[in-house]
Amino acid sequence: MSVLDIVIWPDARLTQVCQPVEGITPGITQLIADMFDTMYAAPGRGLAAPQVGRSERIFVFDAGWKDGAPTPVACVNPEIIDLSEGRLTGEEGCLSIPNTPMDIERAAQVTLRWTDPEGTHERTFTGAEAVIVQHEYDHLDGIVIYDRVEKDVKKDTGR
């Protein structure tokens, strides 16, 4: 396992839509392990493949590790099944846009389906986990927090 270089905005790789993973190979398992090492070393709570220069639909996250309760989750080919109508706004940071926290509005609850080396899963996330899942999922579609701020500003100004 190793710590990978984090891609920094405005690198064009952060704006690309990632491709589905064809299967969980030893190389994908190694990438997941390296992504966890990189995320923890950063130190962050989530990391998506494009943030380490890869174009696969993979992200990892661990909402609790900084508070002493590690809850690592690796998501390969994640699909958002449902977003709640309830919203929350909170400060988000991004390892690819260092030292630039922004207030972002997100769904308060998200249901996600994904695969990992152990199989396929479906789970509903709330609170910090819901925010992290949506943030990392955005990266897989080439969306960064700057894009979310622009949408909120346009909505508020009617543009």
Catalytic residue (choose from 22, 105, 136, 150): 136
Does residue 136 carry a catalytic annotation? yes
CATH level 2 (architecture), domain 12-157: Alpha-Beta Complex (3.90)
Q: Where are the domains of the chain?
A: 12-157
Asked whether the beta carbons of 50 and 133 are under 8 A apart, the reply is no
pLDDT of the chain along its 159 residues, tens only? 699 999 999 999 999 999 999 999 999 999 999 999 999 999 999 999 999 999 999 999 999 999 988 999 999 999 999 999 999 999 999 999 999 999 999 999 999 999 999 999 999 999 999 999 999 999 999 999 999 986 654 455 444
What are the structure tokens assigned to 73, written together? 């989750």
* pLDDT at residue 113, rounded to an integer: 98
Q: Please tell me the distance from the alpha carbon of residue 45 to that of residue 10, in angstroms, as a whole number.
A: 21
Q: Please tell me the distance from the alpha carbon of residue 104 to that of residue 121, in angstroms, as a whole number.
A: 27
Full-model pTM: 0.93
Q: To 10 degrees, what angle do helices 127-140 and 145-157 make?
A: 100
* pLDDT at residue 36, rounded to an integer: 98
